[in-house]
Amino acid sequence: MSNYKFIISGGGTGGHIYPAIAIADELKRQFPDAEFLFVGAQDKMEMEKVPQAGYKIEGLWIAGLQRKLTLKNLLFPVKLMCSLWKARKIVKRFQPSLAVGTGGFASGPLLQMAASAGVPCVVQEQNSFPGITNKMLAAKAKKICVAYDKLDRFFPAEKIVKTGNPVRQDLLEVDSKRTEALQFFNLDATKKTVLILGGSLGARRVNQLIEKELNFFQQQGVQILWQCGKLYAAEYEKYNANENVQVLPFVKEMNLAYAAADVIISRAGASSVSELCIVGKPTIFIPSPNVAEDHQTKNALAIAEKNAAILIKETELDTEFETKFDTLITDETYQKSLSENIKTLALPNATKDIVEEIKQLLN
């Protein structure tokens, strides 16, 4: 039987959406006749990104709890009840063969209702420290696909399978694309290229750092490929006038950006970390301290502890960034060792391995 029906939920950030889409793409490749339905939070970016990837999506009226006491929190129980009710209706109507949740607000109600209806559920956890939704769903899930070790602190050990995080397949070959990449971004092949990544929306503190260090980068003789994020484009695009600086709101050709880079400065969201392990370039992580359970710091720490990347906390940027960057950019041996060490942590077959787990449940 290949006319399976898959219901998939994950959203709020690219880190939940792109793995969900990658899993759907691989399922579609293996089961061309299968039907797919995504379920997201109705005002989040998945409502735009999923249809762009060619899949149908329905939205739930759901949001997370704010950490501070706000009026939005008073609405949370109402939104949760509405979302559970709508999720139940969706599951009843669509009759899925299996449900997949990759984290984010909407996957909670959806997988809760799918499991209650006897639908087998798979949870995919991207981070080294799980979010609250996936922790709550652990009891309902048949399989929990993870990217890091030691997650049996949070999930039942017998359900855990270490697969890694789904990443774009075009990243597996970036080394062969360097010449094409330098031409595409019009970069100078005689200079080192520093790629700055703040996530799809951008990172205020990272952007402030790069703005402050532009003269320092000039003294270092490097060229900058700076993905500042859509939210900050108007503020920083003026620096395109500077020699050796390119400011881009969003980088669509990520494989080429990675291929062009000699050093990468990045946030430490789970998807980014997984991509950077595969790409294998010397990396400085600046984790966001403003995410649930500070999981970006934990993601970056899991890499830095293995001497596979440099970790600088936001609070230490003013005192440590220039020294650590200078050491890295001037020491080829150090660059090579970081590069080799981070590559050993890559799990390039994650998407296929997750789909193998799904196929076992279908059988």
Measured in whole angstroms, the distance separating CA 291 from the mean position of its chain's CA atoms is 13
Helices (H), the chain: 14-30, 46-52, 71-94, 107-116, 132-137, 178-184, 204-212, 214-220, 233-236, 254-260, 270-279, 295-304, 317-330, 332-343, 350-362
Question: Residue 357: CB partners within 8 Å, gap ≥ 6?
Answer: 122, 143, 145, 161, 163
**127 marked ligand binding residue:** yes
Phi-psi region of 137 (alpha: psi -120 to 50; beta: other; left: phi over 0): alpha
Measured in whole angstroms, the distance separating CA 148 from the mean position of its chain's CA atoms is 14
The answer to whether the predicted template modeling score (pTM) of the entire model surpasses 0.75 is yes
**14 marked ligand binding residue:** yes
Q: What is the dihedral of CA 149, 150, 155, 160, to 10 degrees?
A: 40
Question: In order of start, what are the domains of the chain with their CATH numbers?
Answer: 5-166+349-362 (3.40.50.2000), 169-343 (3.40.50.2000)
Amino acid residing at 95: Q
Q: Which two tokens stand for residue 105?
A: 């607000």
The CA distances from residue 157 to 107, 138, 143, 144, 222, in Å, are 22, 10, 10, 9, 47
Q: Is 288 helix (H, G, I), strand (E, B) or coil?
A: coil
Tens place of pLDDT per residue across the chain (363 aa): 568 999 999 888 777 898 999 999 999 999 999 999 999 998 888 999 999 999 999 998 877 655 556 666 667 777 788 888 999 999 999 999 999 999 888 899 999 999 999 999 999 999 888 888 899 999 999 999 999 888 999 999 999 999 999 987 788 889 899 999 999 999 999 999 999 998 777 899 999 999 999 999 999 999 999 999 988 999 999 999 999 999 999 898 999 999 999 999 999 998 899 999 999 999 999 999 987 778 899 999 999 999 999 999 999 999 999 999 999 999 999 999 999 999 999 999 999 999 999 999 998
**223 marked ligand binding residue:** no
**168 marked ligand binding residue:** yes
